[in-house]
Homo-oligomer: A and B are copies of this chain.
Amino acid sequence: MTNSDRDLELIEENFRDIALLESIASTLGWDERTGLPDEAGEYRAHQITLLSGLIHDRRTSPQLGERLARLADSSVTTDPNSNQSVTIRCLQKDFLRHSKLSKSLVEAISNATVRGEQAWAVARPKNDFASFLPFLENILALRKEEAAMLQVGNQTLYDALMDQYEEGATVAIIGPVLNNLRQQLVPLVQRCAEAKNRPDGATLSRSFDIDQQRKLSRWIASKIGYQFSQGRLDETDHPFCTSLGPYDHRILTRYDANHFNSGFFGTLHEAGHAMYEQGLPKDAFGMPLGTAVSLGIHESQSRLWENMIGRSHAFWSWCFSEVQKYFPGTLDDVSGDTFFRDINRVEPSLIRVDADEVTYNLHILIRFELEQALLSGDLQATNLPEAWREKYTKYLGVAPTNDHDGVLQDVHWSAGLIGYFPTYALGNIYAAQLMDAAREQIEIVGNEGLDVQIRRGEFSPLLEWLRTNVHRYGRQMNPRALVEKATSKAFSAAPLVKYLSEKIEHVYG
Question: Across the interface, do A37 and B246 meet the contact criterion of CB distance under 8 Å?
Answer: no
State the A residues within 8 Å of B (CB): 17, 20-21, 23-24, 27-28, 30-31, 35-40, 42-44, 46-47, 50-51, 54, 228-232, 244-248, 250
Question: Nearest-CB distance from A216 to chain B (Å)?
Answer: 20
Question: Across the interface, do B37 and A51 meet the contact criterion of CB distance under 8 Å?
Answer: no
Question: Nearest-CB distance from A17 to chain B (Å)?
Answer: 6
Question: Across the interface, do A39 and B232 meet the contact criterion of CB distance under 8 Å?
Answer: no
Question: Across the interface, do A24 and B28 meet the contact criterion of CB distance under 8 Å?
Answer: yes
> A246 to chain B: which residues have CB within 8 Å?
43
Question: Across the interface, do A247 and B20 meet the contact criterion of CB distance under 8 Å?
Answer: no
User: Could you write out 26 A-B pairs with CB less than 8 Å apart?
Assistant: A17-B50, A20-B46, A20-B47, A23-B43, A24-B47, A24-B50, A27-B27, A27-B28, A27-B31, A35-B232, A37-B228, A37-B229, A37-B231, A37-B247, A37-B248, A38-B229, A38-B230, A39-B229, A39-B248, A40-B244, A40-B247, A40-B248, A43-B245, A43-B246, A43-B247, A54-B54
Question: Nearest-CB distance from A45 to chain B (Å)?
Answer: 10
> A35 to chain B: which residues have CB within 8 Å?
232
> A30 to chain B: which residues have CB within 8 Å?
31
Q: Which of B39, B47, B230 contacts A37 (CB 8 A)?
A: B230
> A40 to chain B: which residues have CB within 8 Å?
230, 244-245, 247-248
Question: Across the interface, do A247 and B39 meet the contact criterion of CB distance under 8 Å?
Answer: yes
In the complex, A36 Cα to B250 Cα: how many Å? 10
8 closest Cβ contacts across the A-B interface? A43-B245, A40-B248, A39-B247, A38-B229, A40-B247, A20-B50, A39-B229, A39-B230
Q: Could you tell me the dominant secondary structure of chain A's interface residues? A: helix
Number of copies: 2
> A44 to chain B: which residues have CB within 8 Å?
245, 248
In the complex, A451 Cα to B232 Cα: how many Å? 47
In the complex, A230 Cα to B40 Cα: how many Å? 6
Q: Which of B20, B31, B36 contacts A31 (CB 8 A)?
A: B31
What is the chain B residue whose CB lies nearest that of A30? B31
In the complex, A224 Cα to B219 Cα: how many Å? 40
> A42 to chain B: which residues have CB within 8 Å?
247
In the complex, A232 Cα to B38 Cα: how many Å? 10
> A17 to chain B: which residues have CB within 8 Å?
50
> A50 to chain B: which residues have CB within 8 Å?
17, 20-21, 24
> A228 to chain B: which residues have CB within 8 Å?
37
Question: Across the interface, do A47 and B245 meet the contact criterion of CB distance under 8 Å?
Answer: yes
> A247 to chain B: which residues have CB within 8 Å?
37, 39-40, 42-43
> A248 to chain B: which residues have CB within 8 Å?
36-37, 39-40, 43-44
Question: Across the interface, do B37 and A232 meet the contact criterion of CB distance under 8 Å?
Answer: yes
| Most B Cβ at <10 Å: residue of A31, A37, A228 | A37
Question: Nearest-CB distance from A27 to chain B (Å)?
Answer: 6
Question: Nearest-CB distance from A41 to chain B (Å)?
Answer: 8
> A244 to chain B: which residues have CB within 8 Å?
40
Residues A47 and B31 in contact in the complex (CB < 8 Å), given A37-B228, A54-B54: no
Residues A51 and B24 in contact in the complex (CB < 8 Å), given A31-B31, A44-B245, A245-B44: yes
What is the chain B residue whose CB lies nearest that of A32? B27
In the complex, A30 Cα to B24 Cα: how many Å? 13
> A245 to chain B: which residues have CB within 8 Å?
40, 43-44, 47
Question: Nearest-CB distance from A222 to chain B (Å)?
Answer: 13
Question: Nearest-CB distance from A250 to chain B (Å)?
Answer: 8
| Known A23-B47, A27-B27, A36-B248; further 15 A-B contacts with Cβ < 8 A | A20-B47, A20-B50, A24-B28, A27-B28, A30-B31, A31-B31, A37-B229, A37-B232, A38-B229, A39-B248, A40-B244, A40-B245, A40-B248, A43-B248, A47-B245
